[in-house]
Amino acid sequence: MTKLFLVRHGQSTWNAANRFSGWVDVPLNKKGRQEAFQAAHKLSSYQIDVGFTSLLVRAIETIAICLTECEQVCGGRSPVFKHDADDPNWKGWDNYEGDHSQEIPIFTSRDLDERYYGNLQGLNKTETVQKFGKDIVHQWRRSFVTRPPGGESLADTAARTIPFFGDRIMKHLRDGDNVLVSAHGNSLRSIIMYLDHLDEQEVANLELVTGIPIVYDINAEEKVTSKIILN
């Protein structure tokens, strides 16, 4: 039995400003960092072996805080970010394997990035509702298949997150590692849809709170046996 931990990043500067973020790389604000600290303490009774995060700084900040604020979570080991890079300026250190008895690898991937909101990115959500109408904006935000103008639907997001989960994250769970994933509202909604066998209507009503860890127990048959939300 291994554990999978999912956490939506803490509040970002654009969350607070009620703006569509998508792929715009905005950081956590003060409240978001506090939420990440609180998430770290909620995870303090568990131990993490491997981390995964998107390439966006708000998710990276969150997992860094989660794995450095409480020593119990890391068991005295240091987190080390791993980059899929071919840039020769890395001098090969992007492939550094390290000593897993002393370090926790954190893998970064664009497949875990937030849903791409296209032409909505940067817009104020309230003003967007006033311009286009509540129903159409709700469809853009919550429908499984409807794309916002120039952007991704949740189905498009799932088409990259779920294969990544199966290929990369599940491999570590099969190997007995406890895995922490720090990502975004929509990239995590698509993974949760897969784990919880939600239909399109159920996932449309799924709301993830920033900084609240979700804990899954995964058995040897790769099935979810229990789920806890660490409110």
Tell me: is residue 133 an annotated ligand-binding position.
no
Q: What is the pLDDT of residue 72?
A: 80
Q: What is the pLDDT of residue 186?
A: 97
- E strands, the chain, are 2-8, 50-53, 78-82, 103-108, 179-183, 214-218, 224-229
Tell me: is residue 141 an annotated ligand-binding position.
yes
State pTM to two decimals: 0.95
Tell me: is residue 201 an annotated ligand-binding position.
no
pLDDT in tens, the chain (231 residues): 899 999 999 999 999 999 999 999 999 999 999 999 999 999 999 999 999 999 999 999 999 999 999 878 888 899 999 887 667 777 877 777 777 789 999 999 999 999 999 999 999 999 999 999 999 999 999 999 999 999 999 999 999 999 999 999 999 999 999 999 999 999 999 999 999 999 999 998 999 999 999 999 999 899 999 999 999
Residue 9: active-site member? yes
Tell me: is residue 116 an annotated ligand-binding position.
yes
Distance CA(144)–CA(198), nearest Å, equals: 11
Asked if residue 206 lies in contact with residue 192, where contact means CB atoms within 8 angstroms, the answer is yes
Q: What is the pLDDT of residue 19?
A: 98
> Which domains can be identified in the chain, with CATH numbers?
2-229 (3.40.50.1240)
Active-site option among 35, 61, 69, 114:
114
Q: What is the pLDDT of residue 46?
A: 94
